[in-house]
Structure 1
Amino acid sequence: MKVLIIFTSSELGGAERSLTKMAKAAADSTPGIEYFLGTLDGVGPWCEWAEAIGMSPFVFGKRQGRHGRFGLSAVLGATRFVRENKVDIIYILGFRSSVFFRLLRGFMPGVKVVQGIRWNPNSFSKLDVWFRRVERYAHRVTDGYITNSIAANNTLQQLGVPADKLVTAYNGLDAIPSASELAPASSPLVITVANLNYRKGYEPYLFAISKVVEAIPIAKFVFLGRDDLGGVIQSRIDSMNLGSSVTYAGFQKDVSPYLRSASLMVLPSLYGEGCPTSVMEAMSYGVPVVAYAIDGVPELVESGKEGLLVEQVGDIDALANAITAILQSPDLRNELSKAARSKAEVCFSIANCCQSHEQFWNRIIYRTAQLAAYNGK
């Protein structure tokens, strides 16, 4: 069985990391499945990172200004690749690109088209509104959907997508840090691993930080991620006089040095999360998590056990109080840390991720074989 995983962007985000690692792990654990990896974007950080870990990504397009844009030539190039390499399943990450491939599926006879849903499309953003409008009908020409949260799975079922076309496969970690790799948090350092954009909630988060700093002046905050806002957050840090407390460290290919020294991880996203890889990675290092209880986050973090979740999105006081409570109580922090690491070891393995995908591929192929046999009677 041959599967092409195709990303719309060549930036290095959670989806790119987790699914590339899954494909690499599957090469050793599931020899019956051959994975190809490709992008509709031009060469980018993901390509370099994938090559560094031993994978060979295919680049079907050229960078069209900012990342994530693609031309028809890229889609046609990927379609030609599918035909020439006799690919059985094309697994598409990106709503816009999935629309094109479904329109062109007539040029890929026998190929199964699967859309990966890495967020919960239930907000009032333009993307989510259009997604829901399209998928109410497009699911009829889609062979399957893989979500990385039950929350997203439920949203799709509400749109009328049949349950047998859906599976939830959580992201997987290829390795859990050994105890010797974990350094005890010696100072109140709080990290956030997320690209800087409005959905991730950085601006309101700064107001929560200002409240935390009032209570704990020595607390330090580090933001890690690509800047999609053109310096807006950095300017806000300066205007709020938080420069001595908050550092923007930019995009980092390897965030493990920050995780080793962090007391806490905060994900201030306001909507649109699926199964955040950054949360899972933090938990694997024994770093408790504070976040809003949105989308798939409560599926990873049980409030009061592996971290603290704030029920009301945008409740700055509650967010600040949760952060302060953990930083001021070493006993609470240690208790949450142990539970977080334990859960990551048991629940977030790359093997589980591989198995969930493999079972779904087999289900799709078997369902088609059954239908063909039925029609042949």
Structure 2
Amino acid sequence: MRVAIILKTFPPDVIGGMETQTKRMATELHHQGHDVTVFTKRFGDHDDSDVPYEVVRIQNWRVNPFVSDLTFLVFAMLALIRRRNEFDVLQCMMLYPVGFLGYVLNRLTGLPYFAWVRGGDYYFMNDVWWKRWMMRRVLDDTLVLAQSGKIRDDVVADFDDIECNIDILGNAVSIPDETASGEGVLYVGRLAPKKGIEYLIDAVAEINASLTIVGDGSERDRLERRAAEAGADVTFEGEVDPDDVGRYYRSAGVFALASTEGEGMPNVVLEAMSWGLPVVATDSGGLPSLIDTGYNGYLVPMRDSQALSAKIERLLADDQHRANLGENARRFVADYHSWEALCSELKTHYERVT
């Protein structure tokens, strides 16, 4: 299958969950015999020699985020119109705005397309009327994939006046040969307000546990002050190359995610579970589809540092319990979130829309 994948940002410009997932997904699809081309924004000069497929970096005018997005969509549309005969299907990695671009291209050229609801982004956009109007066009027109049943249910409830064709397909990760055998608590991700890291800092301070934070962002200075004020044992590692994050998983005992807003299906949670780490996370977005409380981790209420600390303390205090939940977490990811399983399902969806 000749597949064009479109998303706004791509590594190394952005190494967030969707970007990292798309890069690895495209590689796996290539290895399985698909002809893959990724279309994304151009931020700088990249040779993209680390991937086995074509990456088309589209010019955009970075006056402000709106103009950057608008010019990217216009120039991407022109590029895809020019190359429309090279592709069998367009895979849009978000419902808005690239899903709407797929809708327009389909009307102009007949190129089949589908969109993927990335939960964390959807929850921040569905209250803007013109974004909802664009999302409605896509939802009422083609196949849409959601990362979890919870996200699908939320989308269906938000657009209950139309019949949405939504299937569930989550993220995938590679299963490492090793398993984690360390101590302490680990967080990997952006230091952004919605991640609730201050609650995690308060939680580990309460039980005198060590916390390693891998990642950077706008909240770092504030969080460092919060850790100092709380007397918490927190190490800020800053941004780490994705290929080097494995050593942090390997040396941890528990993975924690204290998000305060809707999450999709965070890659970092799947990666932590693949290393055999039990996860303590807030009941947010697609996380309940990954974590079975008491089996492979624990779900706790959002903005509740005491609940976080109680579950983290239980896991750190009981080596056997922690090992059992970690083994269950690793098995769950191997069974349901491997690359082989995801690419097989994607092939089915390609055939459905073409």
Counterparts of 1:190 and 1:329, CA distance in 2: 14
Match of 2:55 in 1: 57
C-alpha contact (below 8 Å) 2:81/2:105 kept by paired residues? no
Residue of structure 1 in register with 2:332 after alignment: 343
Q: What is the deviation of 1:362? A: 1.1
SS of 1:129's equivalent?
Answer: coil
Structure 1 runs not aligned, ≥5 long: 214-218, 366-377
Q: Structure 1 pair 288/20, CA: closer, same or farther in 2 (3 Å)?
A: same
Counting only pairs closer than 5 Å after superposition, residues 291-310 of structure 1 correspond to structure 2 as: 291-310=281-300
* Equivalent pair of 1:303/1:309 in contact (CA under 8 Å): yes
Deviation at 1:273, TM superposition (A): 1.0
In the alignment, what sits opposite 2:238? 250
1:239 matched to which residue of 2?
Answer: 229
Q: Scaled by the length of structure 2, what TM-score is found? A: 0.87
Q: Which residue of 1 aligns with 2:323?
A: 334
1:232-265 CA-partner distances (Å, limit 9, x unpaired): 22232233333xx111212222310101111010
Match of 1:314 in 2: 303
Within 1, Cα distance between the matches of 2:64 and 2:328?
40
* Equivalent residue, structure 2, for 1:200: 195
Following superposition, the deviation at residue 323 of structure 1 comes to 0.5
Contact 2:30 2:52 in 1 (8 A): no
Q: Which runs of 5+ in 2 are unaligned?
A: none
Which residue of 2 is the match for residue 40 of structure 1?
41
Match of 2:22 in 1: 19
- Counterpart residue type for residue 320 of structure 1: S
What's 1:216 paired with?
none
State the superposition RMSD in angstroms: 2.7
1:361–1:191 CA distance, 2 compared to 1 (3 A): same
Q: From the superposition, tell whether residues 83 and 228 of structure 1 become closer, same or farther in structure 2 (CA, over 3 Å).
A: same
1:332-371 CA deviation, whole Å, 9 max, x = no partner? 1111111111112211110111122211121112xxxxxx
User: How many residues are aligned here?
Assistant: 344
- Greater shift, 57-66 or 255-264, is seen at 57-66
1:1-377, aligned counterparts within 5 Å?
1-10=1-10, 11-29=14-32, 31=33, 33-43=34-44, 51-62=49-60, 64=62, 70-85=68-83, 86=85, 87-98=87-98, 101=101, 104-105=104-105, 108-119=108-119, 125=124, 127-130=125-128, 133-134=132-133, 137-139=136-138, 142-158=141-157, 159-160=159-160, 162-163=163-164, 165-173=165-173, 175-178=174-177, 181-185=178-182, 188-213=183-208, 219-229=209-219, 231-242=221-232, 245-252=233-240, 253-254=242-243, 255-310=245-300, 312-365=301-354
CA positional deviation for 1:98 = 2.7
Partners in 1 of 2:186 and 2:141 — Cα distance? 39
Specify whether residues 136 and 38 from structure 1 end up closer, same or farther in structure 2 by C-alpha distance, changes over 3 A only.
closer
For the 8 Å contact 2:255–2:279, the answer to whether it is kept is yes
Deviation at 1:140, TM superposition (A): 5.7
CA distance in 2, matches of 1:41, 1:168: 30
> Aligned to 2:39, what secondary structure does the other structure show?
strand
Counterpart amino acid of 2:172?
A: G
1:63 Cα shift? 7.6
Q: Supply the distance in 2 between the matched residues of 1:90 and 1:332 (Cα, whole angstroms).
A: 45
**TM-score normalised to structure 1 length:** 0.82
Q: CA deviation at 1:107?
A: 7.0
Q: Which moved more, 1:350-359 or 1:220-229?
A: 220-229
Shift of 1:99: 6.5
1:102/1:347 CA distance change after superposition, 3 Å: closer
CA shift for structure 1 position 68: 9.5
Q: Distance in 1 between matches of 2:139 and 2:321?
A: 49
| 1:304–1:230 Cα change, 3 Å | closer
Runs of 4+ residues deviating >4 angstroms: 65-69, 120-123
Counterparts of 1:74 and 1:53, CA distance in 2: 22
For residues 32-77 of structure 1, the C-alpha deviation after alignment (integer angstroms, 9 at most, x for no partner) is: x422112124248xx67x6424343221035837889724332222
**Residues 120, 272 of structure 1: 8 Å contact kept:** yes
